[in-house]
Amino acid sequence: MTHDDPTPPPSSSRPLLEICDLNLDFGTPRGRIHALRNVSLDVPAAQVVGIVGESGSGKSTLAYTVMGLLAENADVTAGSILFEGRDLLTMTAQGRRSLLGDRLSMIFQDPMTALNPVRTIESQMIDIQHHEQGSRSEKRARAVDMLHRVGIPDPKNRLGAYPHQFSGGMRQRVCIAMALLVKPALLVADEPTTALDATLEVQIIHLLKDLQKEIGCSILFVSHHLGAVAELCDRVAVMYAGEVVEQGAVRDIFRNPAHPYTRALLECDPGRIRKSTRTLPTIPGEVPSLLGAKVGCIFRTRCQHAFDRCVQENPVEYRIGVDQVARCHLLGQERLVSA
């Protein structure tokens, strides 16, 4: 990550999505919750980037911020989110609307969040193509083709059905079909398999992988499931209490985790790198309150290696090898890597 590099990279090598030093608070009667702190993350073109971390670490907040679907009490206090070089945070509402459902689309944990229960799948799949050229019958044919590709049996006849007439797994397939029908550059997927049973999860992950390759889009994939991330993603960012503590190539991080939090997550998950669908097990201790300012390492209260510096200073990002960075004082202390 070289966000402070004064020379911008050539546009062809520029990541599709560049999240730089993003800070977001939620105003609450108890005070301000710092849900995202100095989050920097790139999503390269045609790659899948996973976001993992325990519940409450800020994964969904990050995904929703990219999509501009923020709660009323949310306040972005600093940072930028560049999508194809344009800042989504300062863009006009009209500019953002023109991207949604065209260059940017989303799938949710609960398919009913995306589907209108009182309209047929056909009308929703035709509507979502409002940016696309073509007659209604051409759009209908594209919808049938996409439903077929996501594995909906007898798609021509199923077009006239309402969402409640599909099972949970089939509804999520319909949502994937809708999200990919417009051939987005970026698909944001917020725990799309969490509500499904293990067999369905594996099927949906394979489906996403195949379609991502075929369409050539990027995916920002939020998940609790390390196995799903290992299966689908090229890169992964590990979040803890609103911060990205480690990120890099999936293979490097799963083989050689550098941050004690990443290690703890992986050590607790015997199915790692295999096709596990386990949820993240608990690590001893509790996630700290996100209220108020923080000094020092956010993970120190649960870290068995914590020392004085972890209390006094926020860790900087250390580079490990070519494509892996982590925020941990141990990495500087042991002089394993260069800052």
Strands 186-190 and 104-107: parallel
Residue type, 158: R
Q: By CB under 6 A, is residue 58 in contact with ligand ATP?
A: yes
# binding residues, ligand ATP (CB under 6 A): 16
Q: By CB under 6 A, is residue 57 in contact with ligand ATP?
A: yes
Q: Applying CB under 6 A, which part among 58-66, 113-121, 155-163, 213-221 lies near ligand ATP? A: 58-66
Q: By CB under 6 A, is residue 193 in contact with ligand ATP?
A: no
Q: By CB under 6 A, is residue 123 in contact with ligand ATP?
A: no
Nearer to ligand ATP, 55 or 123 (CB): 55
Q: By CB under 6 A, is residue 53 in contact with ligand ATP?
A: yes
Among 73, 113, 116, 312, binds ligand ATP (CB under 6 A): 73
Nearer to ligand ATP, 66 or 150 (CB): 66
Q: Applying CB under 6 A, which part among 40-48, 54-62, 164-172, 261-269 lies near ligand ATP? A: 54-62
Nearer to ligand ATP, 59 or 300 (CB): 59
Among 35, 81, 107, 205, binds ligand ATP (CB under 6 A): 35
Nearer to ligand ATP, 87 or 110 (CB): 110
Q: By CB under 6 A, is residue 33 in contact with ligand ATP?
A: yes
Considering just the CA atoms, what is the radius of gyration of the chain in Å?
21
Residue type, 84: E
Among 88, 128, 219, 290, binds ligand ATP (CB under 6 A): 290
Give dist(CA 214, CA 198) in Å, integer.
25
Q: By CB under 6 A, is residue 112 in contact with ligand ATP?
A: no
Q: By CB under 6 A, is residue 28 in contact with ligand ATP?
A: yes
Nearer to ligand ATP, 149 or 225 (CB): 225
Q: By CB under 6 A, is residue 22 in contact with ligand ATP?
A: no
Question: Between residue 209 and residue 248, which ones bind ligand ATP under the rule CB under 6 A?
Answer: 224
Q: Applying CB under 6 A, which part among 13-21, 56-64, 93-101, 152-160 lies near ligand ATP? A: 56-64
Tally the C-alpha atoms within 13 A of residue 100's C-alpha that lie toward its C-beta: 16
Among 14, 32, 56, 140, binds ligand ATP (CB under 6 A): 56
Q: By CB under 6 A, is residue 26 in contact with ligand ATP?
A: yes
Positions in the binding site for ligand ATP (CB under 6 A):
26, 28, 33, 35, 53, 55-61, 71, 73, 224, 290
